[in-house]
Amino acid sequence: MSLEDNIRRVTPYTPGEQPQKKVIKLNTNECPYPPSPKVVDAIKNADMDALRLYPEVDCDTLNSAISSYYGIPKDRIFSGVGSDDVLSMCFLTYFAGTEPVLFPDITYSFYDVWAEVYRIPYETIPLDEDFNIVPSDYSRENGGVVIANPNAPTGVVLGPDVVEDIVSHNKNSVVIVDEAYIDFGGRSALPLIEKYDNVVVVRTMSKSRALAGMRIGYCFGSPKLIKYLNDVKYSVNSYTMNTPALMAGAAAIEDDEYFRDITGRIIKTRADFAEKLKELGFSFRESSTNFIFAKPPAGAEASYVFEELKKRDIYVRHFKKPARIADHLRITIGTDEEMEILAGALKEIMG
Ligand code: PMP
């Protein structure tokens, strides 16, 4: 036996770069606008003495706000430190069987990392050549299913009927629908939680509510599935979310007008930028998210364009993965001005 034999070795997820210098940052799908002024007020007016105490163990301040906003009872809601924490807890809780958990080959690249770290058997199912999920591929024996809808990094959305088809064909396993980007397009699978007790819908405040720095995620499911999730959470770390995050999250969810304004602006900028990308010869599927996954025209390698943009202090995301992914760039939608500068730089690089 060696020391190494006693150690859990994993290949970690690679997060997007967070450069310290000021750049045009379009690499991690953050929101280009600040959080709601109500969030800023909630934090400014917070009772600092409360920080002496542990936070609410049941995240009640936040879950109550989420419950009123969506009209869903609190026993169907679970919150965590970003949707990464919520998803990780879901993997640990729901995927304890022996059959493989299924998810697409091109999807959020954290899923296989969690499966590896928790030693969950899994199988990836190839998307078709146009990056579509083929629903019938998920109608087989499995230990669970994970679908990002809209999918990342492709930006492609499935209709609610297709998601329901996948859920209804998997009554003996949990289907996780990761809706990190649903506020930018597509219809949510949320109504399915009333109809099926094997579906969990996961959301985040990192994108459409401009709170990536606060780390707030949540999910919805049957009271039974939420109880199982809490049992595991309380067995790992009971005080997950900090007090300022609980207050900020509640304030963010209550400011619906601001939320609609910023998501509307991003959707509009996305449409304008898509036109520019087309003119530049990029090919891409229509995006239902706050990013576009685009392939540069022949003659311009994605990795080259990525490096050239970086030299100009414009950061986008390039995944050094198999060909279908590596020949694309994932470009977050920023402000109109940022997208203008990016379009100018792309023109220059490919000129
Ligand atoms: N799901 C998907 C599909 C994502 O792209 C991300 C962002 N990296 C997350 C979940 C996690 O987001 P967060 O932890 O910030 O909520």
Full set of structural domains in the chain with CATH: 12-34+257-350 (3.90.1150.10), 37-254 (3.40.640.10)
- Cα 179 to ligand 1 centre (Å): 9
Structure-token pair, residue 339:
């997208």
For atom 6 of ligand 1, the residue with the nearest CA is 180
> CA separation (Å) from 18 to 32, 332, 343?
14, 14, 22
Task: Name the closest-CA residue to atom 8, ligand 1.
Answer: 28
Determine the average pLDDT of the residues in 314-341.
94
Binning pLDDT at 50, 70 and 90, where does residue 320 land? confident
Q: Which atom of ligand 1 is nearest to the CA of 81?
A: 14
Instruction: Read off the pLDDT of each residue in 273-299 and give the average, rounded to a whole number.
Output: 97
Of 349, 327, 325, 287, residue with least CA distance to 127: 325
What would the mean pLDDT of 309-334 be, rounded to a whole number?
Answer: 94
Mean predicted confidence (pLDDT) in 320-336: 92
Residues 6+ apart with CB under 8 A from 295: 282, 283, 284, 302, 327, 328, 329
* Per-residue pLDDT reduced to its tens digit, 164-177: 999 999 999 999 99
pLDDT the model gives residue 270: 98
Nearest to 88 by CA among 5, 204, 198, 207: 204
Mean pLDDT of the region 305-330 = 94
Atom of ligand 1 minimally distant from the CA of 107? 3
Q: Inform me whether the pLDDT recorded for 351 exceeds 90.
A: no
Q: Cα(98) to centroid of ligand 1, in Å? A: 26
Which tens digits make up the pLDDT trace of 33-64? Answer: 999 999 999 999 999 999 999 999 999 999 99
Q: Tell me the per-residue pLDDT of 127-178, one tens digit each, with 9 for 90 and over.
A: 999 999 999 999 999 999 999 999 999 999 999 999 999 999 999 999 999 9
Most ligand 1 atoms within 8 A of CB, residue of 177, 204, 331 to mutate:
204
Confidence (pLDDT) at 343: 98
Provide the mean pLDDT of the chain: 97
For residue 84, how far is its CA from the centre of ligand 1 (angstroms)?
A: 6
In the chain, the amino acid numbered 16 is G
Cβ < 6 Å from ligand 1: which residues?
82-84, 108, 148, 152, 178, 180, 204, 206, 212, 217
Q: What percent of the chain has pLDDT over 70?
A: 100
Position in ligand 1 atom list of the atom nearest CA 216: 16
**What is the rounded CA–CA span in Å between residue 251 and residue 248?**
5
Q: Which ligand 1 atom sits closest to the C-alpha of 83?
A: 16
CA 214 to ligand 1 center in whole angstroms: 13
- How many beta carbons lie within 10 A of that of residue 17, not counting itself? 13
- Percent of residues, the chain, with pLDDT higher than 90: 96
Taking residues 293-301, what's their average pLDDT?
Answer: 95
Q: Ligand 1, residue 28: give the atom nearest the CA.
A: 8
**Which residue type does 176 have?**
I
How far is the centre of ligand 1, averaged over its atoms, from the C-alpha of 73 (Å)? Answer: 24
